[in-house]
Homo-oligomer: A and B are copies of this chain.
Amino acid sequence: MRIRGVASEDWVRIWPFLREIVAAGDTYTWDPDVTEERARELWMPTPPWRTVVAVDGDTDGDTVLGTAKLGPNHMGPASHIANASFMVAPAHSGRGVGRALGEYVLDLARADGYRAMQFNAVVETNTRAVALWRSLGFDVVATLPEGFEHPTKGFVGLHIMYRRL
C-alpha cells in the first residue's frame, strides 16, 4: 500500500465505494442520495484542501483502497485548525488502510502548518472509527445528544473529536 495525492482519474475508483458508504447512511453526515457531481465537489474540493488516496499498484493501474481529504475546519483566525475525512473501501477493510491514512494525514497537517485537528461529526455507533481516532491521539471533546439519525438505531450521539498537532 502507498499513499499519494489524488489524480483526476482516481475518481472512477473512489465513487463506487464512496457512494456505498454514503448511501448506507450510518457513518457520514452527507445526503445518502448525493449525486456523483456533488460528491466529487465535496470530496475533491479546491486548495488549500488536499485529497489523498491509499493504493495498491496492479497491472492495469492503481486500485484505490481508501481516501482522505484534509483542509481548514474554520476560516480566518481559526484556520490553524484542520479538518479531515476518511473513507476506506469496504472490500479492503481490516488491512490497516484507515490507520495508515490517519497517520499520513496527521503528518501532512503538521507539514501544512496546522496546529490542531478537529472532526465535527463522528457517529458514536461507528465504534471502529472512534477507537481508531482515540488510538491516534484524538479525544471526544463533546457529544451532541441525538445529533445523528441512524437508519436502524434512531437518533444517536455525534462526537466532536480533537487533538493538537
Residues of A at the B interface (CB closer than 8 Å) are 22, 25-26, 28-32, 74-81, 115-116, 118, 120-121, 141-151, 158, 160, 162, 164
Across the interface, do B144 and A76 meet the contact criterion of CB distance under 8 Å? no
Q: List 9 A-B contacts (CB under 8 A).
A: A22-B76, A29-B74, A29-B76, A30-B75, A32-B77, A74-B121, A80-B149, A116-B146, A145-B164
A78-B148, A81-B158 provided; 6 other pairs, C-beta below 8 A?
Answer: A26-B77, A29-B78, A74-B158, A78-B147, A78-B158, A80-B149
Copies of this chain present: 2
Across the interface, do B77 and A149 meet the contact criterion of CB distance under 8 Å? yes
Across the interface, do B116 and A81 meet the contact criterion of CB distance under 8 Å? no
Across the interface, do A150 and B77 meet the contact criterion of CB distance under 8 Å? yes
**In the complex, the 7 A-B pairs of residues with the closest C-beta atoms, listed nearest first:** A142-B142, A141-B142, A29-B78, A29-B74, A77-B149, A30-B76, A31-B76
Q: Identify which of B141, B146, B148, B150 contacts A144 (C-beta below 8 A).
A: B141
Q: Report the bound CA distance from A142 to B160 in whole Å.
A: 9
Q: Which residues of B are found within 8 Å of A164, using beta-carbon distances?
A: 145-146
Q: Which residues of B are found within 8 Å of A30, using beta-carbon distances?
A: 75-76
Q: How far is the CB of A117 from chain B (nearest CB, A)?
A: 11
With A25-B77, A76-B32, A77-B25: A118-B146 Cβ-Cβ less than 8 Å: no
Q: Which residues of B are found within 8 Å of A115, using beta-carbon distances?
A: 146
Nearest CB to that of A42 among chain B residues?
A: B75
